[in-house]
Structure 1
Amino acid sequence: MRLPPAILANTEEVLREVLRFTAPADTTLSRYFKDHPRLGGRERGAVAEAVYAVLRNKTFFTDFAGSNASMRRLALLGLAEAVGAEAIAGISDEEREFLGRIKDIDRTLLPAQKRSNMPEWLYEKLVKQFGQEEADILADSLNKPAPLDLRVNALKADRDDVIAQLAQAPIAAEPTPYSPLGLRVLKKPALQNLPLFKEGAIEVQDEGSQVLSQILGARRGEMVVDFCAGAGGKTLALGAAMRNTGRLYAFDVSEKRLAKLKPRLARSGLSNVHPVQIAHEKDAKIKRLAGKIDRVLVDAPCSGMGTLRRNPDVKWRQPPEAIAEMHEKQVAILDGAARLLKGGGRLVYATCSLLEEENDAVVQEFLASHADFELVPMHKVLAEQKIDLEMGDYLKLLPHKHQTDGFFAAVLERKKMAKPAKVETPEEE
């Protein structure tokens, strides 16, 4: 079934804006669709998928489109990749011949860096970190669309019951291997109008993100902080793990992000969550809770290089020097969050980055300057939480190995203060 001829023009128009990289691609697309309300669901889907196809294949498309790598040609290539050349109406014989020629190219014969569709600096970092062979497999997996994962809200539903209810929709879903509450949906259906979604029984959340919430080990009645809560996906998972007891603070510097948490919170049925906007990691609101918190999750702001399956524009929007800036920011945030913990309390430092500068290096720098903290080996934490994953000291989830986004996590524990020795007083004669 062919798309309306105007879809090519729509794709070309929004792609021109997206490739300026002045804003995240999903933000630009949302604004464009809001400004063009006459586009139907199928048309919006085709335009969005075409844009993401260009972002995933930008190096290849630009190189092989030749000197005439116009926005129209890029839009054509994106649509052909997303919906197939036969679905594109209103194009010339020459353009069809061009699409056929590109389709026939054996991409496995391209130089590795070209095949990776990554900026040279990023590809070189991955090769240095993972080795050539694994870096190439990883790059290939990052250039494929991510699956749709759901988290079942244990306060409202059972995973098997949700699978059965989704099947009636009909939506096929299967249990995820690591998260006991995760489901992987086999296609990408619209969920917003499903009763399960409206009632808060399910939330969209990558399985890797669900595992981060699990390894914090939040329990009933505890004082817990989600330090960089954002729109609250992990906050909701933590609140449910606490069985809606205790007190869970959702900190974030962005009022807009916290505002997105409110409708999700209302659906979830949680009443133990307290959203708090903070100015920075040394805010007085944080100082008031210093030494009182049982567990802290720090899902730190990062380059997002582990999320390229969902956000392929990220690799083109960030310069290499941004990674060093991120490292400094992450160290400061971790230092601020650590002050919240009581003795024996645990902190999970996490990112959705693949890069060591934002991960291992941040944790090692923190431990070198905080003698009152120690690293809890990840294999020990995973065993405690009964998560069937083989890891060393850190959690390192990778799309080509675990079918999740790329995630890193470390568990840090504040040492309990030794009690002062009892002073014996000599008995009076």
Structure 2
Amino acid sequence: MNAAQLDHTAKVLAEMLTFKQPSDAVLSAYFREHKKLGRQDRHEIAETAFAALRHYQKISTALRRPHAQPRKAALAALVLGRSTNISQIKDLLDEEEETEFLGNLKARKTEFSDGLNTAAELPQWLVEQLQQHWSKEEILAFGRSINQPAPLDIRVNTLKGKRDKVLPLLQAESADAEATPYSPWGIRLKNKIALNKHELFLDGTLEVQDEGSQLLALLVGAKRGEIIVDFCAGAGGKTLAVGAQMANKGRIYAFDIAEKRLANLKPRMTRAGLTNIHPERISSEHDTRIARLTGKADRVLVDAPCSGLGTLRRNPDLKYRQSAETVANLLEQQHSILDAASKLVKPQGRLVYATCSVLPEENELQVERFLSEHPEFELVNGAELLQSLKIDLDTGKYLRLNSGEHQTDGFFAAVLQRKD
């Protein structure tokens, strides 16, 4: 890292470490304002800024109000998060105090392992939440797994290509490209490429989608000619996967409360060659326009609004923008959405509830509460469903994915069926 890059990183962290906005939004806005920054500059700034987020617990232990001392926070990120030796950056240190600060930081590594929140790089509120269900060793393993950068997972659009044909093309460009172990549609790249400019992305053959998200689409199990509802469609990653699964036959209703997210879905549909998706903005899960589908849907996917704590490899700032209070509010929202969505499922139809969270309160406990209130539904064994699709993955009756064991984001899914 050079002096100019360090200065830019400090300016980014001054805003990013207030946690008032998502970190990727802060970074994107900064790069838009500084168009002359080259590719290598952007890489160094982004990597160091995200290293500061991943090691914020240790940095904030050693540095009071890190956002107010962003240059020191950037230097700490280089040493703690990017394995930089102090001797490598001695030319960047313009004060003796900075050298002393970094020396003390390295000397405190043993001290950092004493507290569970610093050892696991998790805020105290989240540690307390997890301690209700997990052992100390499980919390440490989780913290370490989400502190690694995520690879780039992509999905081959089966309307436009086959994985066994696309994979060799990508391997010719990036030797680390490999088939995902579980999803039959997935390809994983450990070193990210500029996919948005790639020919196979531009023609709709490839879409960015984590392997865990691809497995959720497979659990929906949509068939040609069916009526499908994606109740919280967002920008439509799973909607697109389900549409391809149906070979563009049938009808998918993509509901969401955010017009902007649905607007992002429309060009993606066009690029993917899908015409069976019908995006529609709703005001809430109680919107009267939903009632026309009561008891008519073959399959309903509820990818519920959640804490996002399964995506911390990609969004390390989320754990500081969430709290016990925001999670409590989400629990009531999830319960209400699941209840409303269930009314659309026809007899023998399938309801899939999913989150990208690792908290049992948002996952298993939410499903158990729903089943206790809705005896007309029963749980379908997720592992058996995957086995029937020749996917060798057994996490029990629920799909539970974690970054450490499965190299995916943290995902949860429950498959429910309405009785005849």
TM range (shorter): over 0.9
What is the one-letter code of the residue matched to 2:263?
A: A
Q: Is the 8 A contact 1:254 1:277 kept in 2?
A: yes
1:249 pairs with 2:248: no
Q: Secondary structure at the match of 1:357?
A: coil
- Name 1:78's counterpart in structure 2: 77
Partner Cα distance (1:170, 1:129) in 2: 41
Partner Cα distance (1:104, 1:203) in 2: 45
Q: Name which of 104, 120, 124 aligns with 1:120.
A: 124
1:184 pairs with 2:183: no
Q: Is the 8 A contact 1:229 1:252 kept in 2?
A: yes
Q: Is the 8 A contact 1:46 1:82 kept in 2?
A: no
Partner Cα distance (2:258, 2:374) in 1: 28
Q: Is the 8 A contact 2:126 2:323 kept in 1?
A: no
Query: CA distance change for structure 1 residues 83 and 31 in 2, over 3 Å: closer, same or farther?
Result: farther
Partner Cα distance (1:104, 1:154) in 2: 53
Partner Cα distance (1:169, 1:12) in 2: 34
List runs of 5+ in structure 1 lacking aligned partners. Answer: 417-429
Partner Cα distance (2:350, 2:138) in 1: 33
Partner Cα distance (1:88, 1:166) in 2: 40
If you compute each CA radius of gyration, which structure gives the higher value, 1 or 2?
A: 1
Q: Secondary structure at the match of 1:374?
A: strand
Q: Is the 8 A contact 2:14 2:69 kept in 1?
A: no
Partner Cα distance (2:267, 2:175) in 1: 24
Q: 1:379 Cα shift? A: 2.2
Q: 1:331 Cα shift? A: 0.4
1:29 pairs with 2:31: no
Q: 1:408 Cα shift? A: 0.8
Q: Secondary structure at the match of 2:255?
A: strand
Question: Root-mean-square deviation (CA), in Å?
Answer: 2.0
Partner Cα distance (1:44, 1:286) in 2: 45
Partner Cα distance (2:240, 2:371) in 1: 29
Q: Is the 8 A contact 1:305 1:353 kept in 2?
A: yes
Partner Cα distance (1:193, 1:292) in 2: 40
Q: Is the 8 A contact 1:215 1:385 kept in 2?
A: no
Q: 1:89 Cα shift? A: 6.0
What is the one-letter code of the residue matched to 2:168?
A: A
Q: Is the 8 A contact 1:300 1:333 kept in 2?
A: yes
Q: String of CA shifts for 1:243-286, please: whole Å, max 9, x gaps.
A: 11111111110001111112211211111111111111111221
Structure 1 stretches (4+) deviating beyond 6 angstroms? 66-69
Q: 1:145 Cα shift? A: 1.1
Q: Name which of 39, 42, 65 aligns with 2:40.
A: 42
1:219 pairs with 2:217: no
Q: Is the 8 A contact 1:171 1:189 kept in 2?
A: no
Q: 1:67 Cα shift? A: 9.1
Q: Secondary structure at the match of 1:303?
A: coil
What is the one-letter code of the residue matched to 1:328?
A: E
Bigger shift: residues 20-29 or 235-244? 20-29
Q: Is the 8 A contact 1:217 1:385 kept in 2?
A: no
> What is the count of residue pairs matched by the alignment?
414
Q: Name which of 285, 304, 310 aligns with 1:300.
A: 304
Partner Cα distance (1:72, 1:320) in 2: 31
Q: 1:65 Cα shift? A: 4.0
List runs of 5+ in structure 2 lacking aligned partners. Answer: none
- Name 1:423's counterpart in structure 2: none
Aligned positions of 1:269-308 closer than 5 A: 269-308=273-312
Partner Cα distance (1:316, 1:289) in 2: 39
